[in-house]
Chain A
Amino acid sequence: MGIVRFIVKRLISMIITISVVLAVSFLMMHYSPNSFFSSTTLASGMGNLQFQDPKLYQQYITMFENRYGMNKPIYDQVLSYVWNSLTFNFGNSFENPTMPIMTQLKESLPISIELSLGSVILAVIIGLPLGVLAALYRNSWIDSLLTTFSMIGQAIPAFVFAVILVLLFGVVWPGVVPINGWGTFADAILPTIALCVGNIGVVTRYMRGSLIESMRQDYIRTAKAKGVPYWPLVWKHGIRNSLTAMVTVIGPTFAFTVVGTVWVENIFSIPGLGTLMSGAFVNDDIPLAITSVFILSLMVMGVNLLVDLSYALMDPRVKLEA
């Protein structure tokens, strides 16, 4: 089966890409002026301990360097860092030296997955019918309304929607739905809407174009000539063929949504991986920051692989080639 070969090839290229990203990230941060990797930053963090008790200070430094492997040569550090990440052995963060990063991930990652995947699925469920509607009633008022709305949804990023929603439900209609936190179903409503609006726009627009394109094809005329009535025609010949093209847009949309999730989590104070990541970046907590990027990128790559596989399953003409 070509499918196994395809998956293996894709996994290998994923590993290469992500390793390069990890290595580059590590190096960039290592050599950045205010890096936590440099023990000078560490030193300044410990105030005047250096002068009060130089011996203890030196012990601290050595302990720190040992724990994070900073006394090894740089290529060794890079390689072991990449290897550890690939084997999901992330170690501890700087901010929370006693808590393994893995523990933090276990709490925050499911929230981010729920949010991003949920909003993409919801957007597809809502956007597909809207796109079909716009395509079938092309150039009518309903089409221009939907097209304009989806353009607005696409142009304005999730954080602006989020901010506007906070304004609406915090100031204009306070108390209707919670504007921050996480835990209940109600908490998920506003963040999901903020993430969804843009995606609905993308899906609607793409479905519209794709359906218009396939309804223009010769095989539609053939099916008509067979006497296939309108709705079966639209469904079996139009929509089915445009859905295959639709699948390809899911990949980029998901990538976009993952970034949107990071923003939305920050604005609605949701304890997901996005909030964890931004905190790590702001506090120069390098291990946690790179690990978050690593995990989120892995998520995006995984979904992309699934998308390509389902594309190949849906369109018989596609040969799986990595």
Chain B
Amino acid sequence: MTQELLRVTDLKTEFQRGDEKVYTVNGVSFSLREGETLGIVGESGSGKSVTVHSMLGLLQGAGKVSSGQAIFQNRVDLLQLRRKQLEDIRGRDIGVIFQDPMTSLNPTMRIGNQIMEGMLTHQYASRKKAFERTLDLLHEVGIPEPKARFRNFPFEFSGGMRQRVMIAMAIACEPQLLIADEPTTALDVTVQMQILALMQKLKQDRKMSVLMITHDFGVATNFCDRILVMYGGKVMEAASLDTFIRRPLHPYTIALKSSIIEVGDRHKKLQAIPGMAKVWNAPPHHCPFYERCTFATQQCLKEVPELTQVDDQEDHWLACHHVEEVLKSVG
């Protein structure tokens, strides 16, 4: 078994919004091995983006990590680092791609300079080397005529091209871990596939670990080795891709799966999950999915289900009181 790169334990994050507190991440734990691709899947508001922002100290506004650990490379706890130390890790050991390539690039800075900036900040390369490397990177992420494009501004690029620039930026210092926060959400479907293919190739070439955050189950199953389903700021289910496709067990996962439209599958009944993800003004004191779950009982209201291993053979974790009932209904 390969080495563990990142282990997050019981991460909790809350936001101060006016007079009230919003509990966004409520005790998330997971681990990521070297070379592995982990997908974090969930609806908007499930706390998946906030989880990674918390780890990297990128929370905006009045967000605050209230407890937890995020051990990186078996040596440092990202949550305990001072600003300076964290800055050394960000961009060098951990690269990040954000959702919206339209707003995530500095509009008044040439894209070449934006790619070089990280390398220069971390003294990864001299100015001259960084320049040459930027051209290589642009080429590698599939931007034709890197020399001419180096001097362009973001507004001269299409959405897909900008996302390629974002990717080049994120991998400039050859990070061990790449975090992709909804990298394809803002793109057209055809472009989405291209970007995913590009990321797949880069990942394999460099044996990078990837943490992929997406609300799109399809994207996750295409790209990831292991998947984590989040809801209400908690992990609902975690398992290998294989298990997920074969035998998902959490009612939420099942609901999520049946709400995707699959091409050519005209007979499948498309099911929307009733209700909406709720805003937590107190830490959850019952199963977060209780209100929307078809299997819910009094027990779900009384006890928050713990994340436990389903059986010893499989790496399959679940937070649900009703495994048996679910199993029965799935057949």
Contacts and interface: CB of A to CB of B under 8 A. Distances in A.
B157 interface: no
Interface stretch (B84-92, B223-231, B241-249, B323-331): B84-92
Contact of B118 (A226, A230, A236, A241): A226
A241 B106 contact: yes
Interface stretch (A11-19, A92-100, A155-163, A311-319): A311-319
Given A226-B169, A236-B109, A316-B155, A219 B87 contact: no
Interface in B116-168: 117-118, 121-122, 153, 155, 166
Interface in A206-229: 216-219, 221-229
B218 interface: no
B87 A229 contact: yes
Interface string A299-320: 0000000000000001111000
A222 B90 contact: no
A317 B117 contact: no
Counting chain B residues whose Cβ lies within 8 A of the other chain, the interface size class is 20 to 34
Nearest to B60: A221
A172 B106 CA distance: 52
B83 A222 contact: no
B87 A221 contact: no
Contact of B91 (A218, A225, A230, A317): A225
Contact of B106 (A222, A225, A230, A232): A222
B153 A223 contact: no
Contact of B104 (A216, A221, A230): A221
A217 B117 CA distance: 18
B89 A227 contact: yes
B217 interface: no
Contacts of A10: none
Contacts of B103: 217-219
B60 to A, nearest CB: 7
B87 A227 contact: yes
A4 B87 CA distance: 45
A224 B83 CA distance: 11
Contact of B108 (A224, A225, A229, A314): A314
Contact of A229 (B60, B84, B106): B84
A240 B109 CA distance: 9
A219 B91 contact: no
A244 interface: yes
A237 interface: yes
Contacts of B89: 227
Nearest to A222: B104
B35 to A, nearest CB: 22
Contacts of B84: 229
Given A218-B100, A221-B60, A222-B98, 5 more contacts: A217-B103, A221-B104, A223-B117, A226-B90, A232-B121
17 contacts: A217-B103, A218-B98, A219-B107, A221-B104, A222-B105, A222-B169, A223-B106, A225-B98, A226-B90, A226-B91, A226-B117, A227-B122, A240-B108, A240-B109, A241-B108, A314-B108, A315-B107
Give the 4 A-B CB pairs with smallest separation, nearest first: A227-B91, A226-B91, A226-B118, A225-B96
